[in-house]
Each structure stands twice: as C-alpha cells, then as structure tokens.
Chain A
Amino acid sequence: MSGAVPGLRVRRAGPLALLQDAGRFGVRRLGVTQGGPMDLHAWAWANQLVENAWGTTALEVTLGGLALEAERDLTLAVCGGDLGATLDEAPLPLWRGLWVRAGQVLRFAQPTSGLRTYLAVAGGFQAEPVLGSTACVVREGLGGHDGQGHSLDEGDRLRVDPAARAREGAEAPESVRPDYTSVPWLGLIPGAQVGDFTGPSLYRAFNHEWRVDDRADRMGIRLTGPRLHCRLETLISEGLGLGAVQVPPDGQPIVLVNDRQTIGGYPRLGALTPLACSRLAQCVPGQTVRLRAITLERALADYRRFRRGFASA
C-alpha cells in the first residue's frame, strides 16, 4: 500500500460498487465468508487485459449509477455486463485495455445486458487487506477501499500504484464474451442429498425452466419454478461451499454465492460450478435459466481450461 496514490475519485455513488480480490480464504472456520467477485470470469478478464496477476483487486460495479473521475493517467479495462459505460460521454468499449487521462470521467448508467461489470486498473486498486484480503463484504464490515466493508460513496478515492504500467489495446477474444441475455445452462454437480429428492422433483429440476427471482444478492440467488420436494426437511447446520443449491421447505432453490453464510441446514441438490456461478451472477431478475447436471470431471476440465489463460498470482 506504500507508494499508493489516488487514481480515481467517486463523483457520484451507485447502488453498489465494491473492491474485490479473489476472496477471503482460510478464515471460514471463524464464520467469515468468502467474498470475492460474483462473476469470476469477467473479473479475471478485466485484470488480464491490464496485465495484472490473478487475485489483483478490481472494482465490481453492480447495476451502474456510478461516476468516477480519473485523478491521473491510467490504463484500465472494463469487462462483464453492459452498464452503458461512457468515457467523457462517449461509449466506452468493454473487454479492452484503454488509456484514460487525468480529468476524464467514467460513468456507468444502467444495465442493458448483464448486471455487474468489473473495472481493473494496471497494478490493481491498492487497499489494506483485512483478514488477508481486500474483498469487500458489506454484511461483515470487512475489506474494500476503507477496510470497513463499505460500498463506494461520493468523494471516496481509489488508490493505485503509480509505477504500474500496462500496454493499451489488449482485447479479449469474442469467444470469451458471454451473451448475458441468452438462457444459460448452469452446470450443477449433484450432491449427496440428491437421492432424498423425489423422482418427479429431480426430473423437474433439470427439465424445467427456472426464473431468477428479485430476491437475489451477494449472499444468495433465489430461483422460482416447479416446487421441489425433499424427504429431508432440515439438517444439522453444516459448511456450505460456493454455489451450493439449497432447497428450503417451500421447494424453491437458493443458490448460495460469495457472501453466503458459512453454515446452513437445508438439504441441497448439489453445487453449481464456479463458472455457472459467474454466469448466474449476470442474470437479471425475471431472466430464465436452466440447470444441467454435470460430472465432477467435466467441471474440473472446464475450470482448469478457464484458469489456464490467466497469469497466476
């Protein structure tokens, strides 16, 4: 953090803008959640395009509404949802490394595709790690630009490394830019309690469409659709992994994501893969999704292929 200088100043706050590194690990046994980017895929690409190593702190902008003024010249990239980003009123190209001059203003309007977008600067945003991570978790008051788990507010300043440089003009290939408006097939690795759901419920889970509910946040995303019946009602609370799909007695699944509680006691269908969680993170309320059972081997191959392209930490 030494040598960090102000790089961007918040001219106008949006509903939610949080610094995120890869997440907070090693302290979940103390009840501390994971945090980190909801869309790992877009976050990783934003960092990649400004030559940052895996795990570098970037800004997760949800829904838009944010205006940032550059306080110095910066190389940056914006990847993820299309939130109508502009640079000095001109449309800002996504999935591309850009040179921004001091005084220029970067604005996010509202989503036209996807829900969240990631802003990375060369060298990463500089913040003091809390419990080993800069991941901003509002509920826990941990991490972020001020260490207190706050979303960006008007007047806040994001600090950068003045020595960091990256080449301008790096572009993510078309093939890695998802169409967030399409109906995604979300890969789900079946869990141990899958056999406790009734046959018709399992059939419906994987053959019906699901609707993303408006009860969705960084803790969990509720899906509405056919009612699923499980022979187990509640369990003794146990550890919950990223993407765990729990089904409370109302039969409507909740996908537990980055800021989930560390333990919970509802039966689970299984767990979405990390890449399925990323894709789900871009789904707006009302959007249709489908679940597809996939094997652990297939999920591993997909994830390792995804990670192969990124510089390791």
Chain B
Amino acid sequence: MTHPGLPRLESAGLDGWLVRLFAEIDEANLPWLTALVRDCEVALGEALVDLVPSYTTLLVIFDPLKITPSEARQRLVATLATLVPEEEDTQAPLQELPTWYDTTVGPELARLAERSEMTKEQVIECHCQATYRVFALGFVPGFAFMGRVDERLAFPRLETPRQRVPAGSVGIAGRQTAAYPVASPGGWNLIGRTAAVLFDRDREGFSLLKVGDRVRFTAVGRDEFERLGGDLRAMEERR
C-alpha cells in the first residue's frame, strides 16, 4: 500500500463508495481485498447491500434508507484504518478445473502453440503448471478472471468475438485465463473445455470460484472428460 493517495474512497453514487486500494493488478492485492470484504460486512452490517471486489478496488453498496452516505464513508474510513491482510494464501481455497485440451473444443490451441513456438503439449503443460488466482468475477454470473498466465501464452482477444462460446470453454486473453460458465458471446482464445460446473443456482454459494480463490487446471483425456460430464460437442464456427 505504498502508492501515493491510496487507499482512497471515491463516490459511486447515492448508495455506493468505491474503495480504491491499489493502482496495479497484482496477486499481492488479494489478501487485502478479501480482508476488506470481510471487514465491510461487519462494519456496515444490516445496511450493507452488495460488495463487488475487483483487481484493485472494492465497490461497497449500502441502503441509503438505513445509513447516510457520509456515515457509510466514516465507517469505511475506520475500517481501512485497522485493515490487516488475510493470512496468505495457504488459506485461500484451491479449486481444480478438469480440462480437456483439444482443438475440437479449443480452436485456438494450435494457433497459440504456433505463435508461442511450442508444441500443443507444451502449451497445455504451461497452462496447467501455474496456480492462478481469481482477481474478479463479472461478465456473466460465475465468470472468473484469473491470472497471471505465463507470458509465452499471453495473446490478445480475438479481433472479432464469437457470437457463441459453449459453456465450459477455457480461454486466454492477455495474461488472464477464464472458463465460460454458460454459453455466451466471447472473444477469448479458446484452448480447451472444462467439465467443472462453474455456476449452479441450486448449489450453496452458487459460484464455484470466488475472488481470491486459487485455481489449477488439470489436463484430462477425452474419456475422463466425458465421464465427468463434459460436453464433447465440437465448436460450431459462426463468427
């Protein structure tokens, strides 16, 4: 927390304050963000409506009938004054995403290998080697932005996004990776598909992944992927 002027509270309208903690994306931000989430729940109690942690900030939404914006601000200032980061990261849950890396479900796998001058196997190994952290959720329910991807695998988004990316698709954009919880439009470079169910309205907590979680992708073969309930249908290319 050495950046000048930070942390800082910024107005986010009648019912919100944005707590800006950091200036750059960094894994080291996460224990501070998750601690702030926890402390804000206590500090605002009944008046708290929603919390949206993301990379460097936490948006705090409160009920303006229960607390005035200035009271909310005072409580957040007090919370920041005593903020202690969560014990790193042995405590953060580790989630494993069994993934079938194959060109039929990951149409950019070959191109990514070519551009990074690696074999497909090396790309897969490289993607599976790292333990990623969830920086933010957004775009659609349960979509987790994870980083950081090895520099050799970092590729920009597709110039023309696909109209439909199947659920479970695993992609790379810049130095981030993610899996699509539901079929949706999308511009990430797809390299495989996970059998994990990322968002389930009937599950406690709904989303498999939460901000701060640690995530590993594990390569599974076609049969194992199918056994785990993975969707084998090949990508339909409709750009």
Q: Is there an interface contact between A239 and B54, defined as CB atoms closer than 8 Å? A: yes
Closest Cβ of chain B to A165, distance in Å, is 28
Does chain A have a CB within 8 A of B235? no
- Known contacts A27-B206, A191-B11, A236-B55; A131/B201 CB under 8 A: yes
Does chain B have a CB within 8 A of A144? no
Q: A30–B145 Cα gap in the complex (Å)? A: 11
Q: Number of contact residues on B: which range applies?
A: 35 or more
Does chain A have a CB within 8 A of B16? yes
- Known contacts A236-B25, A263-B52; A241/B12 CB under 8 A: yes
Does chain B have a CB within 8 A of A142? yes
- Residue in contact with B13 in the complex, picked from A27, A28, A30, A270, CB distance below 8 Å: A270
Does chain A have a CB within 8 A of B189? no
Does chain A have a CB within 8 A of B50? yes
Neighbouring B residues of A34 by C-beta, 8 Å: 50
Q: Is there an interface contact between B139 and A261, defined as CB atoms closer than 8 Å? A: yes
Closest Cβ of chain B to A310, distance in Å, is 10
- Residue in contact with A238 in the complex, picked from B15, B55, B199, CB distance below 8 Å: B55
Q: Which of A13-21, A200-208, A300-308 contacts B (4 or more CB under 8 A)?
A: A300-308
Q: A142–B10 Cα gap in the complex (Å)? A: 31
Q: Is there an interface contact between A238 and B51, defined as CB atoms closer than 8 Å? A: no
List of 6 A-B pairs having minimum Cβ-Cβ separation, nearest first: A239-B59, A271-B13, A239-B52, A192-B10, A263-B138, A31-B137
Residue positions of B touching A, CB distance < 8 A: 8, 10-16, 18, 20, 24-25, 37, 49-59, 61, 64-65, 68-70, 136-143, 145, 182, 199, 201, 206-207, 210-211
Name 23 interchain pairs, CB-CB below 8 A, sorted by A: A26-B49, A27-B206, A28-B52, A29-B51, A29-B211, A189-B11, A192-B8, A192-B20, A236-B25, A238-B52, A238-B55, A238-B56, A239-B16, A239-B53, A239-B54, A239-B57, A240-B52, A262-B52, A263-B54, A263-B137, A271-B13, A273-B14, A296-B70
